[in-house]
């Protein structure tokens, strides 16, 4: 039975994967891709499907698990955000050479803007480097359709295929035809062939030659060829679009009255660009405008500076999203038609901050107390917002808090006054990329403190499970990993756990760890308290504490500056702080923050 359904882009991709028989789906969470696997798991439960669905500890492992299924003849997928593809790049490059048997879709969601990422990198460039085809959807509906196309392409050429949605595709909603998902029996059949699956350099050379031959054929594959969206339009100028820019351009050409006069081509497969299409464009048009996010991947394959307009000549911005008003201006100028420039009202930005009652805030407060002149390295997650508390000096990439902490130690170790170094990272990030770096600090006797902010979940991306959660993607029970045992197994001799809500005790623990690290080497403190937003952990949270500000408050603002809890608000008229009861979570930590003891616990009458 078919039903129309308003569907999130990531849900549409998940539906497309399952409609087309995906048997193994893996991921590591990261915005804007996180909802893909979560939606796969939800559909799996709804339809009682037999498939393996897994949140892996990082993208590399997620890729390798799914790839093994693909070379066993099953249809498989792995999803991640664009910076996660960097982590998975090692197996990606080799998988392109060795190829696949079953269809293998690599979903790498890009974040032009960037809204929630370290970089604006374009995954299509990674596809070019890996030498695998990439498909670029313009909408949730097309993203769903392209999963089917990706599987067909993958199996036609025995090659991984990348699907590259962007934030606006992942997080927009569209009415789609939601067909019933039916179970598809699939039987794995791994055929041993060491010259392919365990190829030595001699055979890799042969595999590279075969890959180049595949790419030449894919550049002529009719099913993924560019589409002429307005076949009746003529003229010497043409516009070439891909991704979200295609969705914008369709509307804008109509709005500007150019639909019948300006040929519009949508490229669905930006790499490899179809050979005949390239020849046709350069031969038949005097000027070609290419609009694409984020890098000029199509433009560089056209490579004619005299005819092609785009990012190379700054006709199209090289940085940031291509909003509709931007695309409108680009097209109007290219066509030489008048247009009314859209001026959007300036909206004041809101400084991001940790949630009221977030245990990380208490941890950062304690770190500042224990090592007030330290260097604070941190990592990717909610705790990046510790920079507002002056407790985060660096954020580079997943796992770098420990490596950078080691780097600062080595940089300063011969100085007479060596600063304390305190690194912070979440439990999920520790499993993702922290363990090898921690082992390195043990071997190198790095004198620093690592604080693992263990809130028992992957909070920033939507509370996906970690290896300590004991639950899988569909809620199935799994084994757990003991972080303390893991840390000690890495060779760390000082490893203690504390509750950041017990702020006095936790500050004492932090001071002890800093003192230990100055003399002996790495010290690890596990700051453990569940994320307040994780419903699974409600029973593990302490009863709320009611607090109030007494009349001795003189409005010095110390609590707001050094603790920055959203529930503590300066009343400018009264020249004192008050507690916003709507925001206060009742953690009670602020009682210990005011140096003048003006914040008090209110005991029940």
Binding site for [4Fe-4S] cluster, by residue number, is: 553, 556, 559, 565, 584, 587, 590, 594
CA-CA distance, 605 to 347, in Å (whole number)? 45
**How far does the chain reach from its first CA to its final CA, in angstroms?**
60
- Tokens at 543, concatenated: 């009863």
**Strands 3-8 vs 173-178: parallel, antiparallel or unpaired:** antiparallel
Q: Is 524 helix (H, G, I), strand (E, B) or coil?
A: strand
Non-local (6+) Cβ contacts of 460 within 8 A are 31, 381, 382
What distances in angstroms separate CA 544 from CA 357, 453, 501, 518, 590, one per listed residue?
A: 10, 21, 11, 37, 13
- Measured CA to CA, the distance from residue 461 to residue 38 in angstroms comes to 11
Q: Which two tokens stand for residue 215?
A: 């790419």
Helix, strand or coil, per DSSP, at residue 47: helix
Numbers of helices and strands, H then E, in the chain:
21, 23
Rounded to the nearest angstrom, the gap between the alpha carbon of residue 279 and the centroid of all alpha carbons in its chain is 37
Asked whether the bond before 425 is cis by omega within 30 degrees of 0, the reply is no
CA angle 63, 68, 69 (to 5 degrees): 100
Distance of CA 104 to the CA centre of its chain: 20
Binding residues: 553, 556, 559, 565, 584, 587, 590, 594
Length of the chain: 605
Token readout for 503 is 């702020």
């Amino acid at each position: 039975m078919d039903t129309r359904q308003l569907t999130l882009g990531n849900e549409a991709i998940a539906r497309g994967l399952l409609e087309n028989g995906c048997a193994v789906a893996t991921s590591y969470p990261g915005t804007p891709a996180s909802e893909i696997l979560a939606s796969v798991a939800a559909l799996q439960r709804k339809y009682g499907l037999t498939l393996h669905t897994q949140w892996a500890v990082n993208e590399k492992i997620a890729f390798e698990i799914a790839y093994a299924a693909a070379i066993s003849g099953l249809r498989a997928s792995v999803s991640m955000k664009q910076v996660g593809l960097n982590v998975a790049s090692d197996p990606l490059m080799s998988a392109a050479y060795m190829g696949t048997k079953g269809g293998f879709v690599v979903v790498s969601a890009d974040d032009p803007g960037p809204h929630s990422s370290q970089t604006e990198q374009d995954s299509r460039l990674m596809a070019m480097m890996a030498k695998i085809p990439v498909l670029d959807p313009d909408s949730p509906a097309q993203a769903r359709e392209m999963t089917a196309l990706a599987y067909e392409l993958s199996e036609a050429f025995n090659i991984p295929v990348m699907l590259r949605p962007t934030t606006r595709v992942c997080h927009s909603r569209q009415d789609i035809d939601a067909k019933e998902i039916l179970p598809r029996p699939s039987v794995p059949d791994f055929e041993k062939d060491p010259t392919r699956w365990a190829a030595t350099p001699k055979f890799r050379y042969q595999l590279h030659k075969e890959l180049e031959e595949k790419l030449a054929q894919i550049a002529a594959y009719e099913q993924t060829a560019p589409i002429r969206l307005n076949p009746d339009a003529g003229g010497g100028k043409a516009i070439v679009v891909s991704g979200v820019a295609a969705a914008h351009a369709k509307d804008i050409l109509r709005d500007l009255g150019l639909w019948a006069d300006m040929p519009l081509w949508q490229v669905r497969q930006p790499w490899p660009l179809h050979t005949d299409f390239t020849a046709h464009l350069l031969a038949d048009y005097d000027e070609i405008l290419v609009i694409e996010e984020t890098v000029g991947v199509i433009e560089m394959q056209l490579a004619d500076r005299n005819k092609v307009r785009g990012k190379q000549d700054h006709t199209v911005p090289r940085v940031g999203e291509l909003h509709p008003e931007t695309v409108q201006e680009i097209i109007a100028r290219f066509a030489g038609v008048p247009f009314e420039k859209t001026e959007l009202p300036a909206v004041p930005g809101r400084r991001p901050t940790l949630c009221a009652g977030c245990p990380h805030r208490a941890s950062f407060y304690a770190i500042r107390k224990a090592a007030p002149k330290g260097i604070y390295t941190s990592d990717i997650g909610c705790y990046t917002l510790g920079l507002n508390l002056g407790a985060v000096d660096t954020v580079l990439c997943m796992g770098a808090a420990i490596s950078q902490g080691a780097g600062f130690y080595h940089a300063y170790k011969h100085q007479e006054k060596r600063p304390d170094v305190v690194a912070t990272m979440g439990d999920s990030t520790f499993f993702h990329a922290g363990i090898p770096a921690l082992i390195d600090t043990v071997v190198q006797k790095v004198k620093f403190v690592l604080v693992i902010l263990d809130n028992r979940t992957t909070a920033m991306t939507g509370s996906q499970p970690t290896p300590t959660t004991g639950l899988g993607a569909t809620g199935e029970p799994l084994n757990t990993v003991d972080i303390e045992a893991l840390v000690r197994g890495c060779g760390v001799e000082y490893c203690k756990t504390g509750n950041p809500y017990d702020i006095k005790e936790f500050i004492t623990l932090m001071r002890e760890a800093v003192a230990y690290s100055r003399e002996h080497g790495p010290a690890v403190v596990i700051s453990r308290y569940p994320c307040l937003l994780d419903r699974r952990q409600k029973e593990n949270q302490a009863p709320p504490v009611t607090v109030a500000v007494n009349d001795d408050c003189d409005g010095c603002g110390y609590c707001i500056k050094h603790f920055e809890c959203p529930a503590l608000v300066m009343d400018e008229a009264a020249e004192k702080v008050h507690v916003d009861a709507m925001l206060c979570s009742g953690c009670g930590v602020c009682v210990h923050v005011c140096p003048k003891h003006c914040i008090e616990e209110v005991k029940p009458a």
